[in-house]
Structure 1
Amino acid sequence: MKWLLALVSIIFLTQPVGADELLLSVGGGPQPGSKQNNKTYGIDYSFKTYEKSYRQHIDFGVSYTEVITDANENKRIKAFSIYPQLSLYPRKKSWGQPYFFVRALGPSYISSNQLGDRYQDNNFSFQAQVGYAARINWRGKEDLVLMVSWKHFSNANLFSDNDGIDIPFVINVGLRI
C-alpha cells in the first residue's frame, strides 16, 4: 500500500498542469427501485489535472452534494467527496471540446445513512458519476464547462446495507478559473 501511495504522489506532484475548475450542480429524478424522487444541488472544485494526451485527462477534485427526497422521513443528506475523474475526448481541440467523463470510487462521507427508504450501513460511501460534457470557448479559451450526468452514492457492497442513492439527471455549469 505504501508503494502505491508513493507512486500516486509522484505522478500527482510532478505534473505541471493545474485545473482550478469550479462547477455548480443541480438535478433530480426518480430513485430506481423506490417510489421516492430525489433532488440535488452542489458544488465541485477540480484542483489538479493530469493530461496523459489530448484525448485522456485525469482530474482530481472535491465535491459537496446535498440530496433531498420527497419521502416522509429522512429527507436530506449531505455528502463530502474526493474524486478522481477520467475525461475522454473524441478529437483534437476546436471551438468547443465535447468529452465523456467518469468519476468512480470517490470516497465520501454522507451525513446520514438513510435517505427516505434508502439505507447505507454507515456514513462511508463512494461517489460515482458518469456523463457527457463540453468545454466551450467563452473568453478566448475553453473555460466554460457544461455537463449532463447520472450521480450515484453507495458503499460498493463493502457493508451489508447498500441501497444506492441515485440522482438520474444532473446538470453542472462551471468555469475554469
Structure 2
Amino acid sequence: MYDVHYTHSRHQLKMARSRKLTLLLLFFWAPLAAAAVPSLWLGGGYGPQPGDHQQSNSAVSLDWVPYHYARSNRQWLSIGASAARLRAHGQQGNEALWALSLFPQLTLNGPHWGNQQTFFQVRALGPTYLSETSLGSRHQASHFALQAQILAGIHFGQRQQHAVAIAYRHYSNANLNQPNDGLDVSFMLTVGLTL
C-alpha cells in the first residue's frame, strides 16, 4: 500500500511539474511566437578598411531573422543568423573568407508615412566563425569573432513587407585576444523581405 501510494504521489508531482513547465514556456514563448514573422535580407557592399588606407573590403551577405519580440510598436528585439563572403582588395594576403554569425538585433521604428516607415537597427556581440584568420593585411587571433552592425532604412509595401537600407558591418574579437584587427565593410546596401 505504501509503495503504491508513494508511486502515485511521485507521478502526480511529475505531472504538476510538467504542467508548470509547459505554462512557463507558453508564457515566455507566446509573445515571441506571436511576433515570429521571419525576414530575409540580401546585402552587398564595398568600402575602405579603416586603419589601412591601402585596403578595401567587399561583402555579399544573406541574413535570416526568424524571431522577433515586440517590446512596443517602436522597439523590436530579434535573433538571426548571417552568412557573408568578404573579400580584400588592394592588399597582399588572404583575399577572401566566410563569416557565419548568430546575432541579437534591436530595431527602433520611426514614424509611419502612409505605407512607409523608417527604422534603425543595431547588432552587437554576434558570435561569428571566420573561415580564415586573416583578410588582406588584417589579422584575427582565432576563427572566433563577433559581428556588429548599424543599419538605417525604410519599410514599404502594402504590409510594409519590403525594406531597403544602408549598413556598416564590423567583425572583431572585442580585444579578447591579440591580434584583433577589425574587418569592416563600410557601406552595404541591403534589401529585405518579410515573409
TM-score, length basis structure 2: 0.81
Aligned to 1:128: 148
Q: What do residues 22-56 of structure 1 show as CA deviations (whole Å, max 9, x unaligned)?
A: 11110010001111010110100000010000000
Deviation at 1:11, TM superposition (A): 8.0
85, 91, 104: which is aligned to 2:105?
Answer: 85
- Contact 1:54/1:92 (CA < 8 Å) preserved in 2? no
Greater strand fraction, Structure 1 or Structure 2: 1
38, 43, 47: which is aligned to 1:20?
Answer: 38
Deviation at 1:19, TM superposition (A): 2.5
Aligned-partner Cα distance in 1 for 2:68–2:57? 31
Question: RMSD value over aligned CA atoms?
Answer: 1.6
Q: Which blocks of at least 5 consecutive residues in structure 2 are unaligned? A: 1-24
- Contact 2:105/2:124 (CA < 8 Å) preserved in 1? yes
Aligned-partner Cα distance in 2 for 1:92–1:136? 10
Q: Which blocks of at least 5 consecutive residues in structure 1 are unaligned? A: 1-8
Aligned-partner Cα distance in 1 for 2:111–2:159? 17
TM-score, length basis structure 1: 0.89
Identical positions, percent: 34
Aligned-partner Cα distance in 2 for 1:28–1:93? 31
If you compute each CA radius of gyration, which structure gives the higher value, 1 or 2? 2
Matched, 1:53 2:72: yes
Deviation at 1:160, TM superposition (A): 1.7
In 2 relative to 1, CA 157–40 (structure 1 residues): closer, same or farther, beyond 3 Å? same
53, 57, 60: which is aligned to 1:41?
Answer: 60
Greater helix fraction, Structure 1 or Structure 2: 2
Deviation at 1:107, TM superposition (A): 0.5
- Contact 2:83/2:100 (CA < 8 Å) preserved in 1? yes
Aligned-partner Cα distance in 2 for 1:121–1:94? 49
Aligned to 1:153: 171
Aligned-partner Cα distance in 1 for 2:189–2:123? 15
Q: Which amino acid aligns with 1:130?
A: I
